[in-house]
Structure 1
Amino acid sequence: MRLVAVTRILNEDDIVEAFVRHNAVHVGHMIFLDNGSTDRTLAILKALKDEGFPLTVFQTLSARFDEASFNTWLYRLADQMHRADWVIFLDADEFIAAETETSLAEALAGRDDDDQAITVPLIHYFDYAEDDRTEPVVPVRMRWRMRAPTGTYKIFVRGGLGTRVVIDAGNHCGFLDGRMLPAPLDRRIGLAHYSRRSGWQNLHKIVNGWLKILAAGEAAMAQGWAAHYRAPFEQLRDTPGTLVGNPLYFSPGADRSIAEEAPLAYRGGALRYTEPADPALKALELLLRYAEQLARSHGRLIDQSVEARRLADGWNAERRFLF
């Protein structure tokens, strides 16, 4: 059985090497679509490919939110070029966690032929003050996860469905011939999810995520995509001290009433290409680079479109009486 993992990625050099080494145990090939990384993500992926890992990397430099089209393109690439039996949708902070006695391939091979897709639960891990911050392997460092299921799921889709399939933003669901793709839940498989790896990394993620939505225009906002970034973005914008000045935000303690120590059985081995970095300085650097990318995209639009320049000139000419 041929399993192909597909992943959109942006500035994940602290976790991407462990992601590849662990998940390659479960899948036969990995396809990445880079969204313009400015850290060491691409250098690490190139080193892993040179080492012999079966992976392919593409890039798009879109500075705005366009997840559904990217996800659907990745499905079709895995289906048509790699003849995937199953396409495994993974974010770069998600690690396959199959039951000990059941590999991912075995679990999928046992599915009924009528199952064209399945959903699997996300298992959310969080950074805590108890973590050994000198440990470079994220799933080894972050040992604490939420006790209760979060109700968030990701979709895996059977190959062979071609252009009939559209994968929605977030890889949470799909559509077949315009209708919701049935995807029964399989709890034998989970995805260990390391979305927040430090307070500074989380602040960068919030700002970057919401700016992408704003850059995509009203249609993206109306769809509610990435809406979970809006409130913390506005909190950081309007009252930054409530986050940046809160030491518990950067070094939270594990609340044992809702969290349990249950580390993932990491299967990727030691890292060779991941370098330590100061999370605060990295967050600042990446945000400035993304702001520059957005500004350059705006400038290109003004330079190449007469209509865009006319609209911008009209906006700039507006004067409003205030008081």
Structure 2
Amino acid sequence: MHAAAVSMVRNECDVIELFARINLRAFAHLFIVDHGSNDGTPAILERLRLEGLPITVLHEHGIQQTQAQTLTRLVRHVAALGRYGYVVPLDADEFVQLPAGFEWESLDETLGDAYYGQVHWATYVPMCGDFFGARAPLHAHFRLRAMALPEESKVVLPRAAALDCTLGPGSHAAHTPSGHAPKVLPLSLCHAPVRSAGQLLRKALIGTHVLSIKPDRLPTEGAHWDALAAELRRRDYRCDDDFLKAMALRYALPADAPLPRVDDEGDACAHRIGTDDDVIRHRDLAHIDVIAGLDGFLAKACAEINALSAIGNPAARKRRWLRW
């Protein structure tokens, strides 16, 4: 029995190669929707595909965040192919690491016909801001945050549940007409949401604007990105190593929660993401340009505003045609 992962990504050039290489140890195929990236993400995915990695890349170009709807359609499509016993939605900063000897069919007895799986996040913290300063950055620079978030998890969908499921925001839960209930699985999902100053600035600033125009946004959806963007503005957009580490330690925790420690005890290789062979081979495309990212977002936003203005204003449509 094989499993496939599905993902929707936007501007993840620093980590998308490692996302593919590490997760392909757990999955037979990756189905990735690129959501209008204007950095090196599409080119890296194309290089990986030409390298022979089992990746299917699809494209979506709208500016609004439609992750739940897009991944719901993709999960159903992948399940309908009939090739995969399990379908798992992942973000580009999430890495599944299976225990030695694990087989996906071993979950059949655990989940049966009434359950889908849930895997808890294990959040990792960068020990320095120089993401590209190490040969294998995720393995070398990141350590496990001691405080877990048991309420935050990702779904693992048996094919029967995936065929007609509806994913919630972030793929933290799923609904099926048959009423599949969640059951926690003893699998490891490594999560590295904060990686470098450039990544944090781009993600927070663009992410908060994109969510601000989402018509069906839930009351608390993306609240951590709003809070982070506000803090970055208060700091005049300065993001040193200490701030980066603090933001990773506080990621998705309540505002009044104590700052957790980093679990770096025991064997030096314990609790790491990947291995020391997980190097970034396409570094020429992996570096983040914050200004280019913001410029690309503004260009897309202005294009959509102009298009909407033309639709609602016949005179504007005529003026645009005469200018042309």
TM-score by length of 1: 0.82
Partner residue, 1:171: 171
> Which moved further from structure 2: 26-35 or 260-269?
260-269
Give the one of 188, 196, 199 matched to 2:197.
199
Offset of 1:7 from its aligned partner? 0.6
Partner residue, 1:314: none
Offset of 1:212 from its aligned partner? 1.2
Which aligned pairs between 1:6-25 and structure 2 lie closer than 5 A? Answer: 6-25=6-25
Q: Could you tell me which runs of 5 or more consecutive residues in structure 1 were left unpaired when the two chains were aligned.
A: 311-323
Offset of 1:276 from its aligned partner? 7.0
SS in 2 for 1:111: helix
Which aligned pairs between 1:130-149 and structure 2 lie closer than 5 A? Answer: 133-149=132-148
Partner residue, 2:154: 154
Say whether the 8 Å CA contact 2:22–2:274 is kept in structure 1. Answer: no
Are positions 1:184 and 2:183 aligned together?
Answer: yes
SS in 2 for 1:204: helix
Are positions 1:272 and 2:281 aligned together?
Answer: yes
Are positions 1:259 and 2:255 aligned together?
Answer: no
Q: Could you tell me which runs of 5 or more consecutive residues in structure 2 were left unpaired when the two chains were aligned.
A: 250-258, 265-270, 318-324
Distance 1:183 1:251 in 2: 32
Distance 2:193 2:44 in 1: 20
TM-score by length of 2: 0.82
- Give CA deviations for 1:60-108 in whole Å, capped at 9, x if unaligned: 1111122221121111121113532110111111111223x34262553
Partner residue, 2:228: 232
- Give CA deviations for 1:273-314 in whole Å, capped at 9, x if unaligned: 2337665xx12221221122111111111123449x79xxxx
Partner residue, 1:54: 54
Distance 2:239 2:23 in 1: 37
Say whether the 8 Å CA contact 1:4–1:82 is kept in structure 2. Answer: no
Distance 1:209 1:132 in 2: 21
Say whether the 8 Å CA contact 1:15–1:137 is kept in structure 2. Answer: no
Are positions 1:244 and 2:247 aligned together?
Answer: no
Which aligned pairs between 1:34-113 and structure 2 lie closer than 5 A? Answer: 34-81=34-81, 83-99=83-99, 101-103=100-102, 105=104, 107-113=106-112
Offset of 1:148 from its aligned partner? 2.4
Are positions 1:126 and 2:163 aligned together?
Answer: no
Distance 1:184 1:176 in 2: 14
Offset of 1:240 from its aligned partner? 3.5
- Cα distance, 1:82–1:289 mapped onto 2, change above 3 Å: farther
> C-alpha root-mean-square deviation of aligned residues, in Å?
3.0
Count of residues in Structure 1 that have an aligned counterpart in Structure 2: 301
Offset of 1:209 from its aligned partner? 1.5
SS in 1 for 2:213: helix
Partner residue, 1:211: 209
SS in 1 for 2:95: strand
Offset of 1:200 from its aligned partner? 2.6
Say whether the 8 Å CA contact 2:3–2:86 is kept in structure 1. Answer: yes
Distance 1:254 1:172 in 2: 20
Say whether the 8 Å CA contact 2:111–2:117 is kept in structure 1. Answer: no
The letter for the 1-side match of 2:33 is L
Offset of 1:136 from its aligned partner? 5.0
Say whether the 8 Å CA contact 1:35–1:61 is kept in structure 2. Answer: yes
- Cα distance, 1:203–1:104 mapped onto 2, change above 3 Å: farther
- Give CA deviations for 1:197-219 in whole Å, capped at 9, x if unaligned: 012311211112211111223x4
- Cα distance, 1:24–1:120 mapped onto 2, change above 3 Å: same
The letter for the 1-side match of 2:139 is V
Offset of 1:192 from its aligned partner? 0.7
Say whether the 8 Å CA contact 1:13–1:274 is kept in structure 2. Answer: no
Partner residue, 1:313: none
- Cα distance, 1:75–1:44 mapped onto 2, change above 3 Å: same
